[in-house]
A and B are shown apart, each in its own frame.
Chain A
Amino acid sequence: MQHPFPVPDAITVKNLRKTYTVREGGSWRGKTREIVALDGISFSVPKGQIAGFIGPNGAGKSTAIKILSGILRPTSGEVQVNGLVPWTSRVAHVARIGVVFGQRTQLWWDLSVGEGLALLRDIYGVEPERFARNRARLADALDLGEIMDQSVRQLSLGQRMRAEIAASLIHDPDILILDEPTIGLDAPSKLAVRAFVHELCRDHGTTVLLTTHDMHDIEALAERVIVIGHGRILADSPFEDLRMTTLSERILELDFHGTPPELALPAGAVETARAPHSLTITFDPRQIPAPALVAHVGHLPGLDDLRISRPSIDEIITRFYADHAA
């Protein structure tokens, strides 16, 4: 479809609010209470970007994903996906997106993977040649050759997730929404899924919105991370920026062949742990650069080895949530 004007953003969200009404006490006459799931969030995702959507459980991620998928209606606010409002033109909207809910299956237990894909071809009205091309491409990229004729019931979780991703892409959607696509997968399967999403974005310009609790997904894939908590956007930046503002500290570990000596450390560095043969020093590289600190401890008697590391992405996010009481 040709647009009369350029559409720079694949997804635009303005002041999105969603409240649920719940009945307290579960009785018929119980008082109702309003729960705010999304409290006015705004963001946009340009075409071809992979945006990571993270936040603690109950932060409002799923609600936002469901609204963008067109299966949930917001209380107020504006959303445009590919120029369409998801909940007013549901059928046209869902024909142009692909969605994978990691904890649910969209394939049919009683059918083989291949039969399921053929069924989706009919649902989405994919032409035979395009279907054959996409099926071959996806089978190759997601390594589906061996499981194409197996019934979905018999697949392992990793095999099933690869099949699920193929199922969500058989109709060439412009936007792929992945809700926890790596949940429960073993390491090779996780790597395969990440590599595939990366290629999809690079080679086909597909816009990807990804929610996950696995921060390594974010680190490996997302150019940008949107952190959501209490229904609000707490941060929206490249991951490195989040690291700098949240937990920029580094860790220096020193191993000795005897008892570690007492140290006088420069400003910005503190001893955080001491063991019979090792020392751990935490330092802020903006106050004391790593080379200077290494020079300072390098001549210590009995020093065997030293390592510098950064906090893991999990630690950074945990700290970020704690800082924002999310």
Chain B
Amino acid sequence: MTLRPYLTAFGLQWKIGLRYRIAVVAGLVAQMWFGAVTLMAYASVYHAAPDVQAPLSLRQAMTYTWIQQSLFTLLPLGCLPAVGDAAKTGAIVYDLLRPVDMWHWWLSATLARLLGNAVPRAVLLACVAGPLAMLVGLGAWSLAPPADLTAAVLSLLSITLGALLSATIVMWWNILTARTLSPLGSYAVGTPLAVLLSGMLLPLPLYPDWIRPFLLAQPFAGITDIPIRIYLGTPIPGGVATGLGLQLFWLTTLTLLGRLWMRQTVNRLEVQGA
């Protein structure tokens, strides 16, 4: 197997992601706004109950929120737009006409699209919410640096796994789109699941005790929640190794099952016609 077609697919989507510079700025403004509103809500809640021992300190909750906001476009909100368009127009037959492995072909494009969207936004927002906020005297509301050097390195490794995991979940949305010939279902299912279960709406460590183990064990926690916990240095039940292990487990499981589902879907397209 030669890697070139997959690298090409990656390069293409990366380029398309970077092409929409206005969207990056608009996204930045929206995410700053949501971040600021969330922070104010946390501040009032934490100050109203100063005696409660929360799993995250107010500073940690703020940093958690800023990182979540900066990684919003990394979440698996729905299918890859190119797959959605191809399904609607019927151009999906051309994907079957390429001498490539469809899973890897779509996965490289998906990963590139997620990174092409997320990396510029994340870097920009981190700069604004971190050093820039500190410089203008908003240090108390800013994005704090990682707990220590180990946390920095491990969280970088963890967010890489998180990006791969997110791309793999998007592959499931892509397959769903290819089966239903419409991208709408993937967004209807994907957006609420991803926003709720990744900790975007409310950090997963802040949920009630009894539900937390389940929230940590589900695949969406591996996208941003586990990397952020490692970054903050907050304890993960079972340690950092469990966190990384869970990410690897879901990555492997969803890839194996996803490839099976893909093969079955391609078979069905070949039998019933695309």
Judging by beta carbons under 8 Å apart, are A123 and B270 in contact?
Answer: no
CA distance A91 to B271 in the complex (A): 17
Judging by beta carbons under 8 Å apart, are B99 and A91 in contact?
Answer: yes
Judging by beta carbons under 8 Å apart, are A105 and B270 in contact?
Answer: no
Judging by beta carbons under 8 Å apart, are A110 and B19 in contact?
Answer: yes
Judging by beta carbons under 8 Å apart, are B5 and A71 in contact?
Answer: no
**Which residues of B sit under 8 angstroms from A124, Cβ to Cβ?**
99
CA distance A45 to B259 in the complex (A): 37
Count of CB-CB pairs between chains A and B under 8 Å? 69
Judging by beta carbons under 8 Å apart, are B2 and A125 in contact?
Answer: yes
Contacts A71-B270, A92-B99, A94-B97: A123 and B5 contacting too (C-beta < 8 A)?
Answer: yes
Judging by beta carbons under 8 Å apart, are B97 and A73 in contact?
Answer: no
CA distance A69 to B93 in the complex (A): 10
Judging by beta carbons under 8 Å apart, are A104 and B98 in contact?
Answer: no
Contact flags (1/0) for B40-55 with A, using CB distance below 8 Å? 0000000000000000
B235 at the interface (CB under 8 A from A): no
A185 at the interface (CB under 8 A from B): no
A43 at the interface (CB under 8 A from B): no
Closest residue of A by beta carbon distance from B274: A71
Partner of A122, one of B8, B267, B270, B273: B8
Judging by beta carbons under 8 Å apart, are B93 and A111 in contact?
Answer: no
**Which residues of B sit under 8 angstroms from A110, Cβ to Cβ?**
16, 19
**Which residues of A sit under 8 angstroms from B99, Cβ to Cβ?**
91-92, 94-95, 123-124
B206 at the interface (CB under 8 A from A): no
Contact flags (1/0) for A86-99 with B, using CB distance below 8 Å? 01001110110001
**Which residues of A sit under 8 angstroms from B12, Cβ to Cβ?**
108, 111, 119
Judging by beta carbons under 8 Å apart, are B97 and A122 in contact?
Answer: no
A72 at the interface (CB under 8 A from B): yes
A198 at the interface (CB under 8 A from B): no
CA distance A101 to B16 in the complex (A): 25
Closest residue of B by beta carbon distance from A177: B97
**Which residues of B sit under 8 angstroms from A248, Cβ to Cβ?**
none
**Which residues of A sit under 8 angstroms from B93, Cβ to Cβ?**
66, 69, 71, 101, 104
A181 at the interface (CB under 8 A from B): no
CA distance A21 to B149 in the complex (A): 61
* Residue among B8, B99, B272 with max Cβ neighbours from chain A (10 Å): B99
Judging by beta carbons under 8 Å apart, are A69 and B4 in contact?
Answer: no
CA distance A91 to B104 in the complex (A): 14
**Which residues of B sit under 8 angstroms from A106, Cβ to Cβ?**
91, 94, 97
A63 at the interface (CB under 8 A from B): yes
CA distance A173 to B123 in the complex (A): 45
**Which residues of A sit under 8 angstroms from B253, Cβ to Cβ?**
none
B150 at the interface (CB under 8 A from A): no
**Which residues of B sit under 8 angstroms from A109, Cβ to Cβ?**
85
B90 at the interface (CB under 8 A from A): yes
Judging by beta carbons under 8 Å apart, are B91 and A123 in contact?
Answer: no
CB distance from B218 to the nearest CB of A (A): 30
B140 at the interface (CB under 8 A from A): no
CB distance from B4 to the nearest CB of A (A): 5
Judging by beta carbons under 8 Å apart, are A69 and B97 in contact?
Answer: yes
**Which residues of A sit under 8 angstroms from B8, Cβ to Cβ?**
119, 122-123
**Which residues of B sit under 8 angstroms from A71, Cβ to Cβ?**
93, 96-97, 269-270, 274
A52 at the interface (CB under 8 A from B): no
Interface residues of A (CB under 8 A from B): 20-21, 63, 66, 69-73, 87, 90-92, 94-95, 99, 101, 103-106, 108-111, 119, 122-125
What would 16 more interface pairs be, CB under 8 Å, given A110-B19, A125-B2?
A20-B272, A70-B97, A71-B93, A71-B269, A72-B270, A73-B271, A91-B99, A94-B97, A99-B94, A101-B93, A103-B90, A104-B91, A105-B91, A123-B8, A123-B98, A123-B100
Q: List 14 A-B contacts (CB under 8 A).
A: A21-B272, A70-B96, A71-B97, A72-B270, A73-B267, A92-B99, A94-B98, A101-B93, A104-B89, A104-B90, A106-B94, A108-B12, A110-B16, A123-B98
List the 9 shortest-distance A-B pairs measured between CB atoms, nearest first.
A95-B99, A122-B8, A71-B96, A106-B94, A73-B270, A123-B5, A104-B91, A91-B99, A122-B4
